[in-house]
Structure 1
Amino acid sequence: MADDQRLMVDVVERLLDGSVVVSCVSSGEALIDDVVQQNPDLVISETELTGVDGLSALSTLRLVGIATPFLFLTGNASPRLMSKALRRGAQGYLLKTGSGDDLRTAVTMILNGGTYTSAEIPTPWTKDRERSRFHPKQAQVAEYFLKGLTTQQIAITLQLSVKSVETYLHWLRREYEAQSNAQLIRKIKEAMLDQRLLY
C-alpha cells in the first residue's frame, strides 16, 4: 500500500478483514522497489505520493512487465485523472469517501480479474454512449485479438507483458462465458454493435 497517511493503512486493514498489508510506503520510488521485491497480490495506492507519483510508478511497473493489479484509493475525483490511471493499466479507481463495502467489492472484483471505478466519477471516454464495462486497455486487447494478432504481437503493440495480455484475454473469456476463441470473437463483435465495448 502506498499512502502518506499511516492511518489509511490501519483503516484498510480493518475493512479488509483477514487481509494483511505487507508493506506501506509514501513515495513512488519505494512503491516500485517493494512491488518488484515482494510481488504482492494487489497494490492499493494514492495518486499523490512523495517524489514519483502513483500513476508514474504504475507506468514504470507496467513498462518492465509487472502486471500486479493496481487499485487507486484516492481523494482526487477528477474524471480525467481516473481515465489516465485506467489507460496506464490500473484495474480500479476508488474515492476515499466511498464506503467500506465499496473497497471490499473493488478488491474482490480486481483479484478476480475485473475492474472497479467509483460510481460518483463520470467516465469521460464514454461520452454519449452506454457506460463501458471495460477500461481502455482491455478494449485495446480485444480490438487486436479481433484482428487476429497473437498474444505476443498484442503485447508488443500495446507495450504490455505477455502475461498481462493473457490476463486480459482470460478476463474477457470469463466475462463473456466464452468456451473458445471463435465464441469470444462473436460475443465481442456483438458487444461492439451494442456499443458496450469502446475504443
Structure 2
Amino acid sequence: MSVSVLVADDHPMFRAGMVTVLQDLDDIEVVGQAANGREAVELVARMAPDVVLMDLRMPEVGGLEATARIKVEHPDTAVIVLTMDSDDDSIFAALRAGARGYLLKESDGLDIERAINGVARGEAVFGAGIAERVLTLFSQGRSSAVSPFPELTPRELEMLELIAGGLDNPTIARRLFLSEKTVRNRVSAILTKLHARSRAEMVALARDAGLGGPAS
C-alpha cells in the first residue's frame, strides 16, 4: 500500500520538482500541494495524507505553526520538515512543534523516500548530520532554550506559557505587573500570530509544544 504525501513549499519550481521525484516512486502517492502553511493545514483536513513534506519559511502561516496545528488537529499525519535551514534553533523548534523528521533540501530522492516511509511507520527520521546534532544538543540540554514559536516576542512567549499553565487574564496581569487591558490586547496578538481560532486552541498548541506542562 502506498504512502500518501502532501508537499508544502512556497517555491513553485522546487515544489514541482519534488512532486516529480515523488511521482516516480512506486510506494508513494502525491495527493496535494500547498504554497503556504495555511493551505497545508486546510489540505490535511480534507485529504488526511500520511505524511506532509513541510518547508519552514512560507508566507501567511509558516511551517512551524502549520506543523504544530497539524499535530494537534490531525495527529495521524506525520510531518517531515524539508528545508534549507540547518541551524540548531530551527531543528529544535521543528521538533517541539511536532515534526517527526528533519531533512535538508540537498537530500537526494532516496533519502527522502526512506524518510517518508520511516515516519509513516511511526519512526523519527533525520537527515545526514542532523541526528548526531540532535543527540548532542539534547544531551547538553539545549532543547529547553529553543522557542517553539519564534514569531512571538519574548514577552508574548512568557504570557503564552502562563496561559498554557491555566492562568486567567487577571492572574496574568498581577503576575506580570500589567493592566488587564494590556493582557487582553497581547492575548489577541498571540491568537493572531498563532492563527488560533480560540483561547482553547491556543492552549492546545502551546501545551503540545511543551509549554505550560504536558499536553492533555
What TM-score, normalized to structure 1? 0.60
SS at match of 2:76: coil
User: Which one of the candidate residues 3, 7, 15 is aligned to 2:9?
Assistant: 3
Please say if 1:159 is aligned against 2:188.
no
Paired with 1:102 and 1:109, the residues of 2 have a C-alpha distance of 10
Per-residue displacement from partner, 1:36-77 (whole Å, max 9, x unpaired)? 111111111101111110110111222335331000111111
1:105 match = 114
Hey, which bits of structure 1, 4+ residues long, moved more than 6 A? none
SS at match of 1:24: strand
Question: In 1, are the aligned partners of 2:45 and 2:74 still within 8 Å (CA)?
Answer: no
C-alpha displacement of 1:118: 1.9
SS at match of 2:29: coil
The root-mean-square deviation of aligned C-alpha atoms, in Å, is: 2.2
Give aligned pairs, total: 133
What pairs with 1:10-159 in structure 2 (closer than 5 Å)? 10-16=16-22, 17-18=25-26, 19-121=28-130, 122-123=133-134, 124-127=137-140, 158-159=214-215
C-alpha displacement of 1:109: 1.0
Paired with 2:123 and 2:12, the residues of 1 have a C-alpha distance of 28
Q: Name stretches of at least 5 consecutive residues in structure 2 with no aligned partner.
A: 1-6, 142-207
Paired with 1:63 and 1:101, the residues of 2 have a C-alpha distance of 29
CA 1:22–1:105 in structure 2 vs 1: closer, same or farther (change >3 Å)?
same
Higher strand share: 2
Question: What amino acid is aligned across from residue 159 of structure 1 in structure 2?
Answer: A
What TM-score, normalized to structure 2? 0.56
Paired with 1:23 and 1:76, the residues of 2 have a C-alpha distance of 24
Q: Name stretches of at least 5 consecutive residues in structure 1 with no aligned partner.
A: 129-154, 161-199
